[in-house]
Amino acid sequence: MNEKEFLQAYDITKYDRPSVTADMAVFSIQDKYIDDITEKPDIRKLPDKKLNILLIKRAGHPFQGKYALPGGFCKKGESVYETARRELHEETGVNYGYLNLFDVFSDTGRDPRGWIISNGFLALIDSEKYRVHAGSDAWEANWFEIDYTCKYENESKIHEIVFKKREQEDSGEREQLFLRGIEQIIYLEQGKKIEWKVEQSEFAFDHGEIILKALLKLKERVEYYGDLVFELLPEYFTLTELQKTYEAILGRKLLVANFRRKIAEMVSETDKMVEGAGHRPAQLFQARKQGVRPQRSN
């Protein structure tokens, strides 16, 4: 039997196969939402920035009414990356920008419909380019502002996230979701492993876990690839906007002088200026295009 005959006789449908999806954690940076109406809107102060994630409220079964990540099933003839790109375009109107796999979720029982493996993607978009999904009424998409904290308790790491919905229609309380993850290193007889427990009752499927892993991966990648944040900003930006974007993701304040020295070689100045702010106008910058660089030697 030669290879051609083998392939003709090969029947892939004889074996059990899973369904495969691409689910996307779509992040954007937006000005901090002002809760307190009584707060005076100081024209001089620049707003801080906040990390946001796009979540959909499920209209159909299963997990009707629960929040989930946008995503969908892989079709024959496309790679999982192409599935993610297609779904991102369908659901946000954006068909470019950073989109990258970060993990695969395949625990048995993670989807009540059956054997379904989810490919988790990290997507970064400039929120100004985002177009609200208009077509299907299968679901409703919303941006949620992220507050992330992390603390250490006897050898464990506890991650907590509060999601606050933006653009509340009625003037009532803002809708909020909570998520908590506990990370622990377990030493086995041979080697070690990291154990996760995620409390995520307000999310569909295991999407709470996927969201937490996505957020941690985002932080890790931003620290490693400094130029990733440009994907969250428009083409032209001020250095302060860039800094506030970093601060929103890393969760801590940075010193202006040091920050500027550090990112100096990653941006190029333009002759454009911001006008009409209540203070000295800032110069606009662009991400600097550069080729593949040698690895930092240590």
Partner DNA sequence: TCAAAAGTGTTAGAGTTACACCCATGT
Partner DNA sequence: ACATGGGTGTAACTCTAACACTTTTGA
Q: Containing H/E element for 263?
A: helix 256-263
Q: Which helix (H) or strand (E) holds 150?
A: strand 139-153
- Residues 68 and 140 sit within 8 Å (Cβ to Cβ): no
Report what 291 binds from DNA, a copy of itself, none; CB cut-off 5-8 Å by kind: a copy of itself
| 219 belongs to the binding site for DNA (CB under 7 A) | no
DSSP state of 160: E
Among 140, 220, 223, 269, the one annotated catalytic: 140
- Return the one option of a copy of itself, DNA, none that residue 281 interacts with (CB less than 5 to 8 A, by type): DNA
- State the binding partner of 275 from a copy of itself, DNA, none, CB within 5 to 8 A by kind: DNA
Footprint (CB under 7 A) of DNA, residues 231-250: 238-240
Identity of the residue, 240 or 286, whose beta carbon is nearer to DNA in the bound complex: 240
Residue 190 CB, shortest distance to a copy of itself, in Å, is 4
State the burial class of residue 121 (Cβ atoms within 10 Å of its Cβ: 0-12, 13-18, 19+): buried
CB nearer to DNA: pick between 134 and 257: 257
Write down the least CB distance from residue 34 to DNA, Å.
Answer: 14
Q: Is 78 a catalytic residue?
A: no
User: Exposed, middle or buried, 250 (CB in 10 Å: 0-12/13-18/19+)?
Assistant: middle
Give, as ranges, the residues between 246 and 285 that touch DNA (CB under 7 A). 255-258, 260-262, 274-283
Contact positions with DNA (CB under 7 A) in 36-65: 42-46
Using CB distances below 5 to 8 A depending on partner kind, what does residue 280 bind out of DNA, a copy of itself, none? Answer: DNA
Closest separation in Å from C-beta 175 to a copy of itself: 22
For a copy of itself, the closer of residues 17 and 280 by Cβ is 17
| Min separation Cβ 51 and a copy of itself, Å | 17
| Helix, strand, coil % over all residues of the chain, rounded to 5 | 25, 35, 40
Indicate the SS3 state at residue 51.
Answer: strand
Residue 7, SS3 per DSSP: helix
* CA–CA dist 223, 231 (Å, integer): 14
CB 91 within 8 A of CB 99: no
Q: Closer CB to DNA, residue 108 or residue 298?
A: 298
Angle at 43 between CA 260 and CA 173, to 5 degrees: 100
Report the C-alpha gap between 51 and 253 in whole angstroms: 14
**Residue 206: count of CB within 10 angstroms of its CB:** 19
146: partner contacted, choices a copy of itself, DNA, none (Cβ within 5-8 A by kind): none
Q: Which residues would be at the binding site for a copy of itself (CB under 8 A)?
A: 1-3, 6-7, 10, 12, 15-20, 60-64, 73-81, 96-98, 101, 103-104, 106-108, 112-117, 119, 152, 155-157, 183-185, 187-192, 224, 231, 289, 291-292, 294
| Cβ closest to DNA, residue 105 vs residue 237 | 237
CB of 263 to DNA, least distance (A): 11
Nearest to 104 by CA among 137, 71, 131: 71
DSSP E strand boundaries for 192-275: 192-199, 267-273
Catalytic residues: 140
Binding-site ranges for DNA (CB under 7 A): 42-46, 238-240, 255-258, 260-262, 274-283, 297-298
